[in-house]
Amino acid sequence: MLLVGAALGSKRGSAALVLYLAEGALGLPFFAGGAHGVGVLTGATAGYLIGFIGAAYVIGLLAEQGLERSVHTSFIPFMVGTAIIYLCGVTWLAVVLGSFGQAVAFGLVPFLIGNAIKLIAAGLALPAAWKLFGVVQTALQ
């Protein structure tokens, strides 16, 4: 989800995530474990799903400023996007569980290491992809 905003930009990236949520709500098995339906958008993971839209928009805005094109700055959009997802997700999960502490324990802590690895991979992959794209574009000219 982090790469959607960086690759498509703020408007198209967030629109793609809105479409993703709409398709899942309409019954396509797009959510974790093949889940689907409107219930997913009101359940425990709803905040994370909604956070994807905001994260894609903000990552897209930062990418439009060129921050994703250098390894030194490419982590900034992805860290900000991850923070937005967690902020929305943990906040909503706290409402569902009735406890902010439980929301952090169940909806944040177990995912920090995996998300850190994905963030690093995305931060390294995108600048490399842009360089490769530049080489291919130059070769085709």
97-106: pLDDT as tens digits:
999 999 999 9
What is the residue range of 78's domain? 2-140
Q: Looking at beta carbons, which pairs linking 117-120 to residues 24 or more positions away fall under 8 Å?
A: 118/2, 119/2, 119/75, 119/78, 119/79, 119/82, 120/75
Q: What share of the chain in percent tops pLDDT 70?
A: 91
Confidence grade of residue 31 (pLDDT, cut at 50, 70, 90): confident
- Specify the number of domains making up the chain: 1
- pLDDT at position 22: 95
Predicted TM-score of the model (pTM): 0.85
**Residue 135 scores a pLDDT above 60:** no
The CATH code of the domain that includes 32 is 1.10.1760.20
**Higher-confidence position of 85 and 32:** 85
Q: Using the Cα atoms of residue 104, residue 77, residue 31 and residue 129 in order, give the sign of their dihedral.
A: negative
Q: Please spell the DSSP secondary structure of 51-100, one letter per residue.
A: HHHHHHHHHHHHHHTTGGGSTTTTHHHHHHHHHHHHHHHHHHHHHHHT-H
pLDDT tens across 2-20, in order? 888 888 889 999 999 999 9
